[in-house]
Chains A and B, each alone.
Chain A
Amino acid sequence: MTPPLAAAQQDSEHDHDPDHQAVPSDPALRTKALESVLVARGLVDRAALDALVDAYEHQIGPRNGARVIARAWVDGAYKQRLLKNAKAAIAELGYGGAEGEQMVVVENTAQVHNLVVCTLCSCYPWPVLGLPPVWYKSAAYRSRSVIDPRGLLREFGLELAADVEVRVWDSTAEVRYLVLPERPAGTEQLGEAQLAALVTRDAMVGVSRVVTPHEGAQA
């Protein structure tokens, strides 16, 4: 299924207008040159770049979102606040900021399954999920999620019954969406931290369900 990309590869070897977005070969070398110039010009500080990379590699990621989901599962009043004003409820747990200036949480139930995409780009709720994985930004996901969500979900291993309503949220503006997955059955005895450990990034995007370790082993 790769002919479009193969064709694109061939086209890109044809002549380019040199004034229009030239594409030299090695992005690592281009990045190094760019960083050297910006540092020498006093436009960026290497220590600040290190701090930004560290923040998104080690501090801001889907464990934040998992804590939000677990709290909503154990605290009904919190869940209502989360569904009504997600930004404020998420801020109660200390998360917010860039790419989460306005957030909406959509709830999965036995009858409704939500799926989040950004068909035009890569919009994603950074404060609760971190930076998006490659597949979320891929042409395959962006193109198919809106026209064939059920087929797409089947590839992720999620077969939805015909009577379940699928709601696809295309993040075309600056509102960021987070899915509140269903709490799996048989987890009544688990505490909030144990529940958070079950919640996956994929479930909060809507491409999978949250399962218990027992179910996971069977799958």
Chain B
Amino acid sequence: MNGVHDMGGMQDMGPVRPEKNEPVFHAAWEGRVFAMYIAIDGDWPGGSGRYQRELIPPADYLRMSYYERWLTSLSELLVKSGMVTRTELETGVAQGGNSKGRHMLRAEEVAPRIAAGGAATRDVPVVAKFHEGQRVRARNINPVGHTRLPRYARGKQGTIVRDHGVHVFNDSFVQGLGQKPQHLYSVRFAARELWGPQAAATDSVYVDLWDDHLEAA
């Protein structure tokens, strides 16, 4: 989706404003939203919260703080999957229980959950379509759903610099269209290929792209 989340190369977004001695969470509710998102045993594929955030209307996306986007996307996922109702979110009063017997993460399970993580790699034999050193072109695609191919790289030529192995293809997975495991590569794009002569000849941008994003140049 050519959404406002795809920000690479946009201009006039103002200066970066680092905060001295910044706290991890700026208010208690931010930490609770973060923790609920990690803890909950949802019916959605991993990474769906991110896709849901991309679906926030653009003006709202820009206005919201980061954890407001998380709160909004988590609420939407919970409602869409039938785990809670909108009325419950508005009233704060539960009308049902844990009907599917979902696992409820316990405090003693938090450290093991963090340590385990959730690998995106898949141990399946998939032939790589490209090899290190090969010239490639990022496909010129404009899908309406989720994609990890940023607009600024589409149609541009680059070089494969590293094969990261076989990864779940997020473009497909978070839309419920299957994991489609395939090779993921680090692709080097010369800054001038992306931005023209205003960029420094020495510089480059490395983008992680999957087989389905690329074609031979």
Interface residues of A (CB under 8 A from B): 1-5, 7-9, 11-12, 16, 20-21, 23, 27-28, 30-38, 40-45, 47-53, 55-57, 60-61, 96-102, 104, 117, 119-122, 130-131, 133-135, 137-147, 149-150, 152, 155-156, 162-175, 202
Contact = CB atoms under 8 A, between A and B. Distances in A.
Given A43-B104, A131-B24, A146-B194, A102 B120 contact: yes
A132 B27 CA distance: 15
The 10 closest A-B pairs by CB, nearest first: A33-B92, A119-B8, A40-B94, A174-B120, A173-B208, A42-B98, A52-B35, A11-B59, A31-B29, A1-B14
Given A34-B36, A34-B89, A96 B107 contact: no
Interface string B70-114: 011011101000011000111111101110001011110111011
Given A42-B98, A139-B7, A172-B207, A48 B114 contact: no
A54 to B, nearest CB: 9
B40 A44 contact: yes
Given A31-B71, A55-B110, 5 more contacts: A43-B104, A53-B25, A117-B8, A145-B8, A156-B16
Contacts of B32: 31, 35, 49, 53
A43 B11 contact: no
B206 A169 contact: yes
A198 B29 CA distance: 32
A28 to B, nearest CB: 4
B60 A28 contact: no
Contact of B200 (A41, A42, A97, A166): A166
Given A33-B90, A55-B110, A156-B18, A143 B104 contact: no
Given A143-B10, A155-B16, A100 B117 contact: yes
B206 A41 contact: no
Nearest to A98: B117
Contacts of B53: 121
B9 A146 contact: yes
Contacts of A171: 208
Contact of A43 (B41, B170, B199): B41
B22 A44 contact: no
Interface in B5-57: 5-19, 22-29, 31-36, 38-41, 50, 53, 55-57
A52 B35 CA distance: 6
Given A34-B71, A172-B150, A121 B50 contact: yes
Nearest to B47: A174
B63 A9 contact: yes
Contact of A47 (B8, B41, B93, B107): B107
Given A55-B111, A150-B200, A142 B66 contact: no
Given A28-B27, A43-B83, A120 B6 contact: yes
A178 B22 CA distance: 20
A136 B105 CA distance: 29
B120 to A, nearest CB: 4
A48 B23 CA distance: 21
Given A41-B94, A57-B24, A21 B208 contact: no
